[in-house]
């Protein structure tokens, strides 16, 4: 299967980079597609981490303002896991260590890769590596973030059971924490057995 880009145009290059493509691609039953026009949100590689304290059976979640949730009845503050975009050449594991400190004042160890996925391949090239990590939650909490980046992040330290309640009730409603928490729910017993 082949494809060809006929034309590419930069539409925006601010907080996000947006490009327009004219392209054609092979069809499954032979032949070639018509000329397609598609916009691509260029986000690149990202990584995220869900920190867990096996002794206290607590997780670190964060909450912050998100433009995509402006129409939510409760407002555009979203419960998430720690995440960030990779700088060129930055390994994903180094990124999550840095972001854990910046977004939650949290030191993490024992990284476990959970999943690697495209967040929305119909319109974006963002690919995210999710990790699970060990931490100590005692003394964590508060407000974090980098002022120059406009970050205002509230740190939530909650029990595993509370996290599952938030997940089941829909309070957690974005893909990253849903994937990470579903994985944790399936692996909680074996993780606790290994880390305790």
Active-site residues, by number, are 149
* Beta-bridge partners for 51: 133
* Nearest alpha-carbon partner for 129 in 82, 172, 168, 88: 82
Residue with tokens 């495209």: 118
Provide φ and ψ at 179, rounded to 5°.
Answer: -60, -45
- In the numeric block, which tokens belong to residue 136? 């100590």
Does an H or E element contain 112, and which? strand 109-118
As a whole number of angstroms, the distance between CA 153 and CA 85 comes to 16
Cα separation, 142 vs 108, whole angstroms: 17
d(CA 64, CA 25) in angstroms, rounded, equals 39
50/58 Cα distance (integer angstroms): 11
């Amino acid at each position: 299967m082949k494809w060809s880009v006929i034309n590419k145009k930069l539409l925006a290059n601010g907080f996000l980079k947006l490009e327009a493509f004219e392209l054609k691609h092979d069809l499954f039953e032979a032949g070639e597609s018509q000329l397609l026009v598609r916009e691509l949100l260029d986000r690149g590689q990202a990584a995220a981490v869900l920190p867990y304290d096996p002794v206290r059976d607590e997780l670190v979640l964060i909450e912050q303002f998100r433009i995509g949730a402006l129409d939510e009845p409760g407002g555009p503050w979203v419960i998430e896991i720690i995440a960030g975009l990779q700088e060129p050449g930055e390994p994903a594991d180094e990124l999550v260590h840095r972001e854990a400190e910046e977004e939650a004042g949290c030191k993490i160890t024992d990284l476990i890769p959970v999943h690697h996925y495209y967040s929305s391949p119909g319109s974006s090239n963002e690919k995210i590596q999710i990790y699970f990590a060990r931490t100590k939650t005692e003394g964590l909490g508060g407000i974090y973030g980098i002022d120059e980046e406009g970050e205002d992040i509230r740190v939530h330290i909650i029990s595993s059971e509370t996290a599952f309640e938030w997940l089941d009730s829909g309070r957690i409603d974005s893909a990253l924490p849903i994937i990470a928490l579903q994985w944790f729910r399936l692996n909680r017993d074996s993780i606790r057995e290994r880390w305790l």
